[in-house]
Structure 1
Amino acid sequence: MQAAVYYGPNKLEVSDVPEPHPGPGEVKIKVGFNGICGTDLHEYYAGPIFIPTEPHPLTGQQLPLVMGHEFSGTITEVGEGVIGHSPGDRVAVEPLYRCDNCHSCRAGNYNICAQIGFHGLMSDGGMAEYTVVPQRMLHKLPDNVSLELGALVEPMSVAYHAASLGDVHPGETAMVFGAGPIGIGLWFALTGMGLEDVYVVEPSSTRRAAIEVLGARTLDPTAVDVPGFIADTTGGRGADAAYDAAGVEPAVQTALACIGARSPMVSVAIYEKPLTTPLLNLVMNESRIQGSLCYTSADYEAVIGLMSQGRYDTTGWVSTIALDDVLDEGFEALHAGTKMKVLIDPSAQVLR
């Protein structure tokens, strides 16, 4: 079968690899769509970072391996002992490996497992025609949720988990910094939770236009005094939660200047540079910074439920490509900023 195999920085090749088969407790999936994540870009241009160069303790796999951890597909074969799933089931995959033994796992917070692994980063993943996963990673898709949306459940669950940690409710005000895929996911999650006053702060006119088409209200931080606007809009109360999906210091500084007393700034970004943000505002307001990592099965089910209600829309920000185009139309286009979100369709033929 064809798969995108990662060998190291700037070396990703689409080549023939053996087709996998499920062992006990596993299922084989014909991949419908696989999204390219920001983490994948970091691995390609600067890695290996998370991809192991020695056998991972939970998967036993290491470089080189097939990338891809944001995917959906159709079950084609089930291994011994698999119950509740059958060939033909359409599924989204929650790609986390966890140890089940560390303190976080025992407390139910397996998304911060001490030995956490990802299918497609610590094992052969979904940038392929087929892949094999443990049964417990599966989430069935309703008939009215497409495989395209199914491949977005993973990043949208990252955003939903972060949105939940902000503990905001209908009638309150939330802010999202950054209108990339996770920022868009935050807006979907917050509005899906019933919030009407959600403001997306984004300096890029292209990204503002993309999320405005979906119905979002945006603020251009290069043209608007964002903290002043929020103070006026909320009668001086400030935002009830702010979410940083931008990962740059100006966004953090502005977010901390916007949140109200005892309110959180939830960080769901990866920071490539150290932050020097002063914390005086946190002290004076008794506000806080809250980290957010990954998701749990509850977040997956919540996102799939909202998708079934028609709350997610791919218009204007999601592109689909063939596996053979993974470098030029995928990684390079995302790196250059000419596309926002790319889904690989392993069954698509390249049109030249």
Structure 2
Amino acid sequence: MKAGQYLSEKKLGLSQIEKPSVKDGEALVKVSFAGICGTDMMIYFGKHPRAKAPLTMGHEFSGVIEEIADGSSFTIGDRVVVEPTISCGQCPACQSGHANVCKTLRLIGIDMDGGFAEYVAVPINRLHKIPDELPASIAAFTEPVAVAVHSVRKSDLLVGENVAILGAGPIGLLIGMVAKLNGANNIFISDISPYRLAKAEELGFISLDARKVNVTEEILSRTNGHGVDVVFEVAGSQITANQMVEIVKTRGQIVVVSVFKQPPTIDFAKMHYNEISLTTTRCYSRDDFSTAISLMAQGKIDVAPIISHELPIEELEQGFSLMGNPDESLKILIKPSM
């Protein structure tokens, strides 16, 4: 079968590899769509600590079951989306119902072969059925929507409160959608990409071009000097680490969603004096994942505006090139099977 693989730093290849055979407890899924994520870019640049070449990346994908053992609630032909997290089930986090922070958490497409291929073998307990009304291309968004759902659920956001999102990539925009659905009032979102800021405006958010305005001054000015109730940090830079403390109100909350590639310096003294709460997030729960499917199927979250490109697997390298330029891309979907 065809598989788009990470071969070495900044090197991808379209390989012919053996179609996977399924073991007990697994299903063979024919991949319909797979999304390129920021984590995939980290792997591509050789910066991910766990991903090892050769690797078929792709942890955001939908497909159709082609092979599965009898006795499951799933059957051949079922349309599914794959929840890519694999936990140990034994550590204290797993035993307390928080498998997303399992001490040995692994992900399909990062620690093992994933969805940038015609077929992938996955554990049956990682499958979710796709409702009939949900197109396969939209279902491929379930993983990032689940991240957004989890991030907002980890916050203390109340109806009518103001929000700032630092970073207008796909996750930032999705967090804005979920926050709006949960009753947020003004939603400020900052970035340096005119393309992504224009998309934020289309979605009804207040966009702030960090190249042209002082984000801190602008948000404080628009909130009568008080700051916002909740800040979602989704950019992972020292600049946004500074801003998140400056723009949150007294006794407000910061939710850190991004993975910082370098440990940032944070003004804990200011946080101390203003009793600011700091919350972190990792992945999502199974309920977050199911909720993401439901929200999209009901049309409450419309991810279609975030899709910038759909490419065949033969153009995977082009997809990664586009992802490297935020002024011309948001979510890029790869279609392994034509």
Q: Could you tell me the TM-score, scaled by structure 1's length?
A: 0.90
Alignment counterpart, residue 110 of structure 2, candidates 121, 128, 139 = 121
Q: Distance between the aligned counterparts of 1:6 and 1:272, measured in 2? A: 20
The alpha carbon displacement at 1:48 in A equals 5.4
The alpha carbon displacement at 1:39 in A equals 1.2
Q: Any gaps of 5 or more consecutive residues in structure 1?
A: 53-62
Q: Which shows bigger deviation, 16-25 or 34-43? A: 16-25
Alignment counterpart, residue 204 of structure 1, candidates 188, 193, 211 = 193
Q: Distance between the aligned counterparts of 1:230 and 1:44, measured in 2? A: 35
* CA deviation profile, 1:236-278 (whole Å, cap 9, x unmatched): 5431110011111121211211112222211111222331232
Name segments (4+ residues, structure 1) moved above 6 Å. none
The alpha carbon displacement at 1:197 in A equals 2.1
Partner of 1:33: 33
What is the identity, as a one-letter code, of the residue corresponding to 1:72? S
Q: Report SS of the residue matched to 1:182.
A: helix
User: Does the CA-based 8 Å contact 1:94-1:154 persist in structure 2?
Assistant: yes
Alignment counterpart, residue 311 of structure 2, candidates 307, 314, 321 = 321
The alpha carbon displacement at 1:314 in A equals 2.0
* CA deviation profile, 1:203-223 (whole Å, cap 9, x unmatched): 322210122122222122344
Q: Report SS of the residue matched to 1:336.
A: coil
User: Does the CA-based 8 Å contact 1:25-1:80 persist in structure 2?
Assistant: no
Partner of 2:146: 157
* CA deviation profile, 1:155-210 (whole Å, cap 9, x unmatched): 12112211211120211111111101111111121112232321112232221012
Q: Does 1:269 align with 2:258?
A: yes
Q: Distance between the aligned counterparts of 1:88 and 1:195, measured in 2? A: 40
Partner of 1:339: 329
Q: Does 1:91 align with 2:84?
A: no
Partner of 1:137: 126
Q: Distance between the aligned counterparts of 2:237 and 2:156, measured in 1? A: 23
Q: Which shows bigger deviation, 1-10 or 174-183? A: 1-10
Q: Distance between the aligned counterparts of 1:166 and 1:237, measured in 2? A: 19
Q: Does 1:168 align with 2:157?
A: yes
Q: Distance between the aligned counterparts of 2:43 and 2:211, measured in 1? A: 31
The alpha carbon displacement at 1:28 in A equals 1.2
Q: Could you tell me the TM-score, scaled by structure 2's length?
A: 0.93
* CA deviation profile, 1:92-149 (whole Å, cap 9, x unmatched): 1110111011111111111111111001111111111111111111111111211111
Q: Does 1:215 align with 2:216?
A: no
Q: Does 1:259 align with 2:248?
A: yes
Q: Report SS of the residue matched to 1:275.
A: coil
The alpha carbon displacement at 1:331 in A equals 1.1
Q: Which shows bigger deviation, 216-225 or 95-104? A: 216-225
Q: Which shows bigger deviation, 285-294 or 313-322? A: 313-322
Partner of 1:5: 5
Q: State how many pairs are aligned.
A: 336
User: Does the CA-based 8 Å contact 2:219-2:227 persist in structure 1?
Assistant: yes
Partner of 1:250: 239
The alpha carbon displacement at 1:24 in A equals 1.8
Q: Distance between the aligned counterparts of 1:308 and 1:217, measured in 2? A: 27
Q: Distance between the aligned counterparts of 1:336 and 1:323, measured in 2? A: 19
Q: Does 1:299 align with 2:319?
A: no
The alpha carbon displacement at 1:11 in A equals 2.9
What is the identity, as a one-letter code, of the residue corresponding to 2:32? G
Q: Distance between the aligned counterparts of 2:308 and 2:129, measured in 1? A: 22
Q: Does 1:15 align with 2:15?
A: yes
Q: Distance between the aligned counterparts of 1:263 and 1:48, measured in 2? A: 32
Alignment counterpart, residue 78 of structure 1, candidates 56, 65, 68 = 68
Matched ranges for 1:48-87 at <5 A: 49-52=49-52, 63-81=53-71, 83-87=72-76
Query: CA RMSD of the aligned region, Å?
Result: 1.8
